[in-house]
Structure 1
Amino acid sequence: MAAFDSSSRATSRTVLPADVTTVAAGAGGAELALQASRALFSHAPAVVLVGDQDQASMANAGAAAVELGVPVLLTTAGDATAAALREELARLAPETLIPVGDAAAGWAKEHPVEGAEVKAYQAGKLPRLGAAAPLDKLLVLALDRPEAAAATATAKASRAQVLVVKDPDPRADDEVIKTIAARQSTHVLGLGSAFGPADRLRNRIDTAATGILLPGGRQVVFPNRRMIALYGHPGDAGLGSLGEQPVDKAVTRARKVAAQYSALVKEPVVPAFEIITTVASSDPGPDGDYSNESTVEHLRPWVDAAGRAGIYVLLDLQPGRTDFLTQAKRYAELLKQPHVGLALDPEWRLAPHQIHMVQIGSVSGNEINKTAAWLAELTRANKLPQKILMLHQFRTDMITGRSAIDTSADELSVVIHADGFGSAGEKMATWDNVRAGAPAQVWWGWKNFYDEDKPTFSPKQTFAVEPSPVFVSYQ
């Protein structure tokens, strides 16, 4: 193989992907490298080759590709992959192939490419190629994994903005969110099937670009966070611990209760308010729904104070004879705030002719799904961080068709909250009963009662419950 001469001034032609958001869903390193090349290059005067399993040569190959501004492609022994590689080389029409390592050199010798000269790789003695125009409108997300190394190098060689991430969800890392918010790129390419589908990645990028974080960081609620909440209604001490003091003292108390849990886990422990927003009533009221709806103006000081203090808020609905979706829409203005989620309390969802404290209410999985779909769309349309959708339950018949509940919305984190009280044995029996047959992709919440529990679980006992709850409320 001939040594390099440095006379070449040829220029690669790098291009923006055809779609605003693209996911290169390669199944392995070789396929992913091919897809990155197809997405980012229309022509390359040279191509760097390296063996698919030649990890020792991968770093040098990647560095060479970045320095030259050309793709790096992986050679394999498979006939199908070899054919795809030859097809890509024909499309790129390189004048030079630069194999790095014995495996790539052997492949290049066995698979000559018409019009391309094979030149030996020499560190520090690469040809000088004209630089392509930077793809400064493109942000490429690449996973920090060995199989993505070649594709990542190709992305860097294209002079796009490349962000190497540990999690395929850009909302899950504060530094990634900060970087995306600062760059405001118009095109996004995700390298690897873990980023797909493309529309989901676009929504995640749009949310990350706002730079808005949840209390405790990130834009994904769980995992890597616990929440400890005061539960109740502002100004009513009889409905729970939240209403036993004014808002400023409730902030202080919530922080103190959450602090009792901080030493027990590595992740942040975030204080929370769970505000009974619509209160079940024994009287039908003017609208006949057996539910007293708080005004937005009454709740706003509590929601705003919580936001300033880094406290998460759940708006809890006890809808009586109306439905959860109808009541939730009344509070859309508050739910548009990034630190506000929604809790549904089926105990207080009455059928026609039922009365509170005479019958225990229930809700269908279908009604929950309609409410969840509305909340997910509200979150997506306003580019908000993920929201909690909490479902309270202490009897299985409180939610009918629970297995059909859709927990797949990327904008929501669904928590089933077990509300049993009494002795430790009674609480655990409720916990086990509620957990049986639960839908997939749910998190678990636990309630401690100051008066009704005998005795109230300590923070250590609470987190020792299996699975350890991510949300704990105090009533």
Structure 2
Amino acid sequence: MIPCRELRETLLSRTTKTTAKGRKTSFNTFIRYTFGASAACLLLLQTACMQEQEAAASDLAVEETTEAPATPPDSASAAPQQATPATTATSTSLASASPAATEWSYPGPKPLPGAVLPGKRIIAFYGNLLSKRMGILGELPAQDMLAKLDEEVASWQKADSLTPVQPALHAIVVTAQGHPSAGSKYRLRMTHKMIDDVLELAHQRNAIVFLDVQVGHSTLQEELPQLEKYLKMPDVHLGIDPEFSMKEGNVPGSRIGTFDAADINYATEYLSSLVKQYNIPPKLLIVHRFTQGMVTNYDQIELRPETQVVMHMDGWGHPALKKDTYRRYIQKEPVQFTGFKLFYKNDLRKSPRLMSPEEILALDPKPLYIQYQ
């Protein structure tokens, strides 16, 4: 574990994950984010220090005893929480899961035909085409970005030849804002033109697409139906980011937000309804997470055959910190499948290299969704 003081400089840039200076494009001019950087940096520094202190105080082989934070109040439009879920994440341990298993060994019902997981490992490039600072997706010219994606796909295929690699583009299409914006929702919806451009690039590599939503003061109930035109397409899936779900009315970036199981259950139910209505393959749902409070009541998340849930380790920093975050918030609170993020820039601030595919494959359980930002 890295001393907390050594992480200070790294953590101070964590708030740039989704803040970006706009650049003029052939689409609309992207609005510059104005998050409360100082408050966010302090909060994130405290979070990392707390993780370090917890790790130092307990043996890794002993069950974690840290008390989870109280569940924040749900939004008024949140879907009601089921008292007894049909299938909960605690029904099966993820520790023994293997992509090569001949029998279904993951929590939840066996997926319908056409499901991506666990038969493939997804390698995704994340960001926004209108910003060079929100991730690799928009940082490089389109063809250079696709060529780099090809390299990562080949690297992962070499590291695990038994699991086919599925390339993906993961685009932020609803971005949290540091100002009220339209409707005082503190979020900005991207144009259909931008989403269409992502789809066109994906088709060049037979890649699937994820549309990522940062609700701000809005809700999933309000935002997801706006994307139905795309989510009903067979190769388009969904990502949701609790970090920017500000249920208590804070400005995005001033503190870390949260989703409850009820919010995630709404998303899986909505996606499942599209699968049934349009007779399409199962949908994937990526849920970002790097702190305890970002997801509450994980054991009440309902798993459905039409939707596959990936709990995605979204933290950055030194490999030791990333692995500890994965252990604490992904491995110890299993839902169904797992993901792991690599940051081309922020991960290198205190480490000479990115974690290799071989290092990530040594994690338990092995992530089946890998995201590069």
TM over 0.5: yes
Measured in 2, the distance between the counterparts of 1:239 and 1:289 equals 21
Measured in 2, the distance between the counterparts of 1:382 and 1:255 equals 31
Q: How far apart are residue 168 of structure 1 and its match?
A: 10
Q: Which residue of 2 aligns with 1:291?
A: 187
SS in 2 for 1:392: strand
Choose between structure 1 and 2 for higher RCO, CA contacts under 8 A separated by at least 6 residues.
Answer: 2
SS in 2 for 1:238: coil
Q: How far apart are residue 462 of structure 1 and its match?
A: 2.0
Q: Which residue of 1 aligns with 2:366?
A: 468
Q: What does 1:194-209 correspond to in 2, within 5 Å?
A: none
Gaps of 5+ in 1: 1-166, 170-196, 209-218
Q: Which residue of 2 aligns with 1:343?
A: 239
1:236 pairs, out of 128, 131, 145, with: 131
1:390/1:448 CA distance change after superposition, 3 Å: same
**In the alignment, does 2:146 pair up with 1:245?**
no
SS in 1 for 2:201: helix
Q: Which residue of 1 aligns with 2:172?
A: 276
Q: How far apart are residue 436 of structure 1 and its match?
A: 4.9
Gaps of 5+ in 2: 1-101
Mapped contact 1:404–1:439 kept (Cα < 8 A): no
Mapped contact 2:167–2:205 kept (Cα < 8 A): no
1:247/1:328 CA distance change after superposition, 3 Å: farther
Q: Which residue of 2 aligns with 1:221?
A: 116
Q: How far apart are residue 311 of structure 1 and its match?
A: 0.5
Measured in 1, the distance between the counterparts of 2:366 and 2:175 equals 29
Measured in 1, the distance between the counterparts of 2:137 and 2:145 equals 6
Larger gyration radius, structure 1 or structure 2: 1
Measured in 2, the distance between the counterparts of 1:462 and 1:394 equals 16
1:472/1:282 CA distance change after superposition, 3 Å: same
Q: Which residue of 1 aligns with 2:338?
A: 444
Q: How far apart are residue 390 of structure 1 and its match?
A: 0.9
Q: How far apart are residue 257 of structure 1 and its match?
A: 1.5
- CA deviation digits over 1:329-377, x for unaligned, max 9? 1111111111111011000111242012211100111111112101111
Mapped contact 2:244–2:253 kept (Cα < 8 A): no
Q: Which residue of 1 aligns with 2:307?
A: 412
TM-score (normalizing by structure 2): 0.67
* Aligned residue pair count: 264
SS in 2 for 1:350: coil
- CA deviation digits over 1:254-298, x for unaligned, max 9? 222211111111121111111111111111102211111112222
TM-score (normalizing by structure 1): 0.53
1:401/1:242 CA distance change after superposition, 3 Å: same
1:168/1:343 CA distance change after superposition, 3 Å: same
Mapped contact 2:126–2:170 kept (Cα < 8 A): yes
Measured in 2, the distance between the counterparts of 1:448 and 1:439 equals 20
1:250/1:334 CA distance change after superposition, 3 Å: farther
Measured in 2, the distance between the counterparts of 1:342 and 1:280 equals 16
**2:360 corresponds to which letter in structure 1?**
T
Measured in 2, the distance between the counterparts of 1:465 and 1:352 equals 35
Mapped contact 1:300–1:334 kept (Cα < 8 A): no
SS in 2 for 1:331: helix
**2:338 corresponds to which letter in structure 1?**
W
CA root-mean-square deviation:
2.3
**1:435 corresponds to which letter in structure 2?**
I
**1:238 corresponds to which letter in structure 2?**
R
Q: Which residue of 2 aligns with 1:361?
A: 257
Measured in 1, the distance between the counterparts of 2:157 and 2:314 equals 23
Q: How far apart are residue 439 of structure 1 and its match?
A: 4.6
